[in-house]
Structure 1
Amino acid sequence: MDERLVAVVGYDGAELIDIACVTTSLGMANKYGCARVPYRTRLLTPGGRPISLPTGLALLGGHPLERATGPFDTLLVAGGLGHEEAAANPLIVAHVRRLARESRRVASICTGAGVLAAAGLLDGRRVTTHWRYAGDMAARHPDVIVDPDPIYIRDGNLITSAGVTSALDLSVALIEEDHGPDMARLVARHLVIYLQRPGNQAQMSIFTAAPPPGNDVVRGLVEHVHAGLDGDLSAAALAAHAGISVRHLTRLFLTHLGRTPAQFVKQARLEAAAHLLAGTSLPMPAVAARCGFGSAETLRQAFTSRYGIAPSRYRQAHGGH
């Protein structure tokens, strides 16, 4: 194989970051990594026309999607605000389906997964997409197993990634798969990626706070949880504090926070632990105690399971001493 031909499918309303993350990462592998088998990327657009982007820019340089033929090493479909129109476009969907048969592996970035789903390429597969659109995609495509949490998921020769900048994580992962970890680390350094995130890391930033809930009871309980993370925050204790039944408590949390009381408390404790790890030199047992974990080992297991990185490694990467 003289080169790895990579097709990136774009359309009106595609996200420029989705496309650029892929093309720039693979270009850096060629330039700085001296890839043994270089990548050659090709942007495919309907009719080969320029595509309009949500920011008001236009992207040139497309090749006609209808005339593209394989074999391709990789087919990637970009996401963007125009993903619903793209998924409803029979021309785009048909040619994506055709090109998938001519590609060694198939991938989507962000909401590009919706185009793959419309082409029937995700049925029975475990996939991810941007967290904001995961529920809608699951409802539209009940045969697709949608997991909104990971940065990216590999299921056989299919790789789907989360929102926007997760395209960088996906691209670096592809480079590592093709050329090994040393090449991937080299490209990551040139991209100034401080820490390559593993695919199973949660999409939502550890420090992304949700807006306060509109319900007074729930808002009061949220404040109570954050004020006493090392206390008894069981569902029974929270219900007693609010003067309501456990059943009503659970219903309120699911309605206003989208999670059970136990899930909310665990997430709050993990976020607080992340703050302490990054901003203090407290020993691990002290961090665990302040955040309501029974031991440093309990903290380690919960933190690693949720964020895909051990607390000690997180502290090293984010400045804690």
Structure 2
Amino acid sequence: MASIFSRIVAGELPAYKVAEDDQHLAFLDITPLVEGHTLVIPKREVDYIFDLPAEELAALHLFAQRVAIGVAAAVPCKRIGVAVIGLEVPHAHIHLIPMNKVSDMNFANPKIKVAEDRMKELAAAIAAQVPLAAGETSRKSASLDSKGSRETTEANEPATTEASADGATAQLQQLTQGLVFMSESDAPLEPVSYPAPSGELTDATLLKLLGEPADTKVEAKELTVFLRNHTADQGVLGDPAQANRFKALQMFMKQELQDTKVYRVGSGPQVKAYALGKTEDGKLAGFKTVLTET
């Protein structure tokens, strides 16, 4: 009888897939220890991982390495833990577990329940961050659009702020690279970083921080509302890979930054938009772009 994983490979059972090639598949564990807990399997059904021929074992670990990069980029954590248990399902598999403390890897811990929408969001975010293998130009299509080519567009010009090499800014540089916000025209997303004010971020404080006139119009919006057209399944350009990248950006800003909002500054025909949230080290970080509205 085929294992449950072989049935997933055959398409008989659904899965939240995050990466796939001709020999391997990676998908979210539906009874995870933590959010982002991912399983990596060979498509060929082999019960015991060390029964795999050396070249297949090596290929499985190289595939897992790329998936781990995607998990680490999409799910805030200190390390990606790696485990092979081999007793639950008679099909070789590797656990990749985002961890912030050693106990996150304890399989005696109660499993958590993650809502379906959140699982879809996680799968899309991880899929968007898994690097392509050497020689690949696009990923093999998978459910939840786990394919998606990496952008080769040159990096955006650094923002004229005190942008630093801190973790949040570096991650934002990666997440925004090559992304374009579509309104009546298109404009790149540029990562930005500013010193956070000591008190509340009022309109007056924000305008002073941005160097804008004190009477400039400011309108605040929720990030999910601002990006809703770009994070739709097909995205504003009909490109699932781009939509997944916007989802990854949105998830990072909501999880890693506090009080994230989008501030529309000015009035038409061109409006500046700043998506900003507070970092742990006391900065405002995010991205800026320009909206064209005639």
Q: Normalising by the residue count of structure 1, what TM-score does the alignment of the two structures yield? A: 0.28
Which structure would you say has the larger RCO, counting Cα contacts within 8 Å and 6 or more residues apart? Answer: 2
Q: Normalising by the residue count of structure 2, what TM-score does the alignment of the two structures yield? A: 0.29
Structure label with greater radius of gyration: 1
Higher strand share: 2
